[in-house]
């Protein structure tokens, strides 16, 4: 018998396009709900959240990427959390909120957020609380349910009833909450 899955919406803000040469500056996580194979039970995503701002791991950065998030890289150099400590704390949070459920990471778009988080967990803790493959792309979920091409599966092209009420602010926690609401709407949507 399959275990219950717990869906966790995540969002990342970084100072460049890829981890390693560039740094993840912040990430947010919010619990979306659970699925037992038959029934999806939504959670208020604002009730169980995690947010961290991290010290940059190198000197390289793209000024345009910083403009998107609005984060002050100089402040993060001085005040950001140590990446190893933050990733340990995030993994512990995931294990706590999951309890006996199997945590699944959800994001829009998944490739970007997963790339950063997985790289950071492997680099700083050697283990991801989501394993190497427990993740779900919200954009792909929409494309499959809508019978739409991936290129035509942007938020601008989704039915208004699916779109979240929360704004997209480029604050990692705000955006994780927004994506959690979109995921809940899509999961319940018949297509």
> Residue 79: is its pLDDT beyond 70?
yes
Residue 168 annotated to the active site: no
Is pLDDT of 1 > 60? Answer: no
Residue 55 scores a pLDDT above 90: yes
Nearest to 103 by CA among 11, 46, 35: 35
Has residue 168 got a pLDDT over 60? yes
Among 27, 52, 72, residue whose Cα is nearest residue 176 = 27
Q: What is the pLDDT of residue 191?
A: 84
pTM for this one?
0.96
Residue percentage of the chain with pLDDT more than 70: 99
User: What average pLDDT does the chain have?
Assistant: 96
Whether 110 has a pLDDT exceeding 90, the answer reads yes
What are the two backbone dihedrals, phi and then psi, of residue 122, each rounded to the nearest 5 degrees?
A: -70, -40
Beta strands in the chain (DSSP E): 5-14, 24-35, 40-42, 49-53, 102-107, 135-137
pLDDT of 96 strictly over 70: yes
Instruction: Evaluate if residue 17 carries a pLDDT over 90.
Output: yes
| pLDDT at residue 2, rounded to an integer | 60
Given 132, 135, 168, 170, the catalytic residue: 170
Residue with tokens 């999951």: 98
Asked if the model's pLDDT at residue 67 lies above 60, the reply is yes
Name the band, by pLDDT with cuts 50, 70 and 90, for residue 48: very high
- The pLDDT of 37-47, averaged and rounded, is 96
pLDDT score recorded for residue 52:
98
């Amino acid at each position: 018998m399959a275990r219950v899955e717990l869906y966790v919406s995540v969002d990342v803000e970084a100072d460049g396009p890829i981890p390693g040469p560039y740094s993840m500056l912040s990430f947010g996580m919010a619990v979306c709900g659970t699925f037992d194979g038959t029934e999806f039970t939504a959670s208020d995503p604002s009730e169980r959240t995690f947010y961290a701002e991290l010290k940059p791991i190198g000197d390289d950065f793209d000024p345009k990427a910083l403009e998107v998030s609005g984060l002050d890289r100089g402040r993060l150099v001085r005040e950001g959390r140590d990446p190893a400590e933050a990733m340990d704390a995030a993994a512990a949070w995931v294990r706590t909120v999951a309890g006996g459920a199997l945590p699944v990471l959800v994001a829009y778009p998944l490739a970007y957020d997963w790339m950063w988080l997985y790289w950071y967990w492997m680099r700083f803790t050697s283990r991801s609380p989501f394993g190497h493959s427990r993740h779900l792309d919200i954009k792909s979920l929409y494309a499959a349910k809508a019978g739409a091409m991936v290129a035509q599966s942007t938020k601008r092209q989704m039915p208004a009833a699916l779109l979240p009420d929360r704004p997209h602010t480029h604050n990692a926690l705000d955006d994780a909450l927004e994506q959690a609401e979109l995921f809940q709407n899509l999961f319940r949507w018949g297509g």
